[in-house]
Structure 1
């Protein structure tokens, strides 16, 4: 079983906050990998692979939050300013991703756009983990059941994007590609 399969298989047993935090940690590591490549010449292919994976991970993460997590949170804690801010941050992140997927690593401002995306995502993570998650922990919400729903939808989206094989949900799948296709 490779790393992606272990993470996907293990994520089905995580509660909602642990699953989302795991996603946050993964994308932060990918941004770190990209940062290291910025100082090395002739790394366009590697940059493209990492940015494609970042964009795919963020696209899936945003979808599961918007479709499942945020509605459950709003039901539990109400439509607070933090929820409005999260929606705006998601919109801006999607716009940045749309621009990046149309670019090549050798284009002017490519690295800068990735850096801006990184800063936007880091701010969003800080807000979620620092402000939203503590409110959720105090609310009466079944985080285990919510985590299961998030995990199931995440696997569906990964399959749709060709990031994991169709038999992945049974634990027998093989990863089709190391870095998934663009969203």
Structure 2
């Protein structure tokens, strides 16, 4: 029995992660500008870091190798993995700091800039190559979704991130 998921394909699933993180970065920026408490900013930053950690892991374990095999574009995917490493380094810095420390908000904002640049490049290049390749993006979406759920469970859940919705749950909300 295959898993029913509320995504059209792998690109849709990954891009929904991008959109969630973008909303969280906007929330963090608003908190920064309006002087939210360090605890509120820390919680938002933790959500960002957790979501990005899982997202980069499923891309590196499943999506990138599949796209690499289907397209043979090693340079593009090597570059994407270098950008992931930059994000991982920033996440480690954020996680090693307290929200009251000088440079904390700036580090989160630096991560936001790096991620938004990566997302634009990924949408314009990696996702397009994946769509024009012979990859089974629908089947790949299931593998990505299942791995994502396993990583969330292993981490004890992601702090206050919405759970993935099944098609049935989405219909109930309509």
Q: Normalising by the residue count of structure 2, what TM-score does the alignment of the two structures yield?
A: 0.86
Query: Number of residue pairs matched?
Result: 160
Q: 1:52 aligns with which of 42, 46, 49?
A: 46
- Runs of at least 5 residues in structure 1 that lack an aligned partner in the other structure: 1-8, 165-176
User: Could you give the per-residue CA deviations for residues 29-63 of structure 1, whole angstroms, max 9, x where no partner exists?
Assistant: 00000000111225211100000000000000000
Q: 1:148 aligns with which of 115, 126, 142?
A: 142
SS at structure 1 position matched to 2:15: helix
The alpha-carbon distance between structure 1 residues 10 and 32, as it changes in their structure 2 partners (threshold 3 A), is farther
CA distance in 2, matches of 1:14, 1:134: 15
User: What's the C-alpha RMSD, in Å, of the aligned pairs?
Assistant: 1.8
- Runs of at least 5 residues in structure 2 that lack an aligned partner in the other structure: 163-174
CA distance in 2, matches of 1:109, 1:153: 34
CA distance in 1, matches of 2:117, 2:4: 27
SS at structure 2 position matched to 1:119: helix
SS at structure 2 position matched to 1:108: coil
Report runs of 4+ in structure 1 exceeding 3 Å deviation: 9-14
Q: Normalising by the residue count of structure 1, what TM-score does the alignment of the two structures yield?
A: 0.82
The alpha-carbon distance between structure 1 residues 50 and 42, as it changes in their structure 2 partners (threshold 3 A), is closer
Q: 2:131 aligns with which of 129, 132, 137?
A: 137
